[in-house]
Amino acid sequence: MKRYIALLRGINVSGKNKISMSKLKEYFLELGFADVITYLNSGNVIFSSVIDDKNNLSNKIMLMIKDKFDLAIPVFIVLQEELAEILNNTPDWWGDDNKEIYDNLIFLMPPLSYEEFCDAIGNPKDEYEKVWNYKNAVFWSFGRKDYKKTNWWSKTANSKISSKITIRTANTVRKIATL
């Protein structure tokens, strides 16, 4: 059995796309997954499965969410060991204890490439945000007081590729990598 993380995009945000984490856990177990843990209310599910195909897992989970919650939610699947490897390649400037900086990890859902992502939202503003791409993840940091000045802040939520990405904070990513 392999350990996976399902990242559900855009649930329980501002009262939209409401999904109960306890119900979600129950339905993951009904799908035959084991050792299911949900983390926070933002759609982080850690589970074990004998299925060895991330696309198959993602489709199975999306169908369950459509059936049980009547929502069309994109689901990004990553092996827990893949996430650990991504975090082993973190840039030096990302995810420290500086409370003035907001550190995020943007997950690009296949087949979205980093180049397509940048084509859709443009380049970051170097004076306000730092980015670094590693595999299907983009490390992204910016000052909390300057978030509205960044190029990516509004565009990650309101672009033609917004349904093809999901974003988690550094603290969340580090936690789900170890559950």
Instruction: Tell me how far apart the alpha carbons of residues 179 and 108 are, in angstroms, rounded to a whole number.
Output: 22
- DSSP state at residue 13: B
CATH topology match: 2-83 vs 89-176: yes
Q: Quick one: pLDDT band at residue 114, thresholds 50, 70, 90?
A: very high
- What is the rounded CA–CA span in Å between residue 69 and residue 62? 10
Over range 143-157, report the average pLDDT: 90
d(CA 42, CA 21): 9
176, pLDDT greater than 90: yes
Q: Which pLDDT score, from 0 to 100, does residue 23 have?
A: 97
Instruction: Mention the CATH class of domain 89-176.
Output: alpha beta
Q: For residue 139, what pLDDT band results from cuts at 50, 70 and 90?
A: very high
Residue-wise pLDDT for 54-97, tens only, equals: 999 999 999 999 999 999 999 999 999 999 999 999 999 999 88
Confidence category of residue 156, pLDDT binned at 50, 70, 90: confident
How large is the C-alpha radius of gyration of the chain? 16
Topology at the third CATH level for domain 2-83:
Alpha-Beta Plaits (3.30.70)
One-letter amino acid for residue 51 of the chain: I
Dihedral angle sign, alpha carbons of residues 26, 169, 117, 16? positive
Entry pTM:
0.94
pLDDT of residue 131: 97
pLDDT higher than threshold 90 for residue 152: yes
pLDDT tens profile 7-35? 999 898 877 899 999 999 999 999 999 99
Report the largest interatomic distance among the alpha carbons of the chain, rounded to a whole angstrom.
Answer: 48
Q: β-pairing, 75-79 with 2-8?
A: antiparallel
Q: Please, what is the average pLDDT of the chain?
A: 95
- The SS3 call for residue 82 is helix
The predicted pLDDT at position 159 comes to: 85
What ranges do the domains of the chain cover? 2-83, 89-176
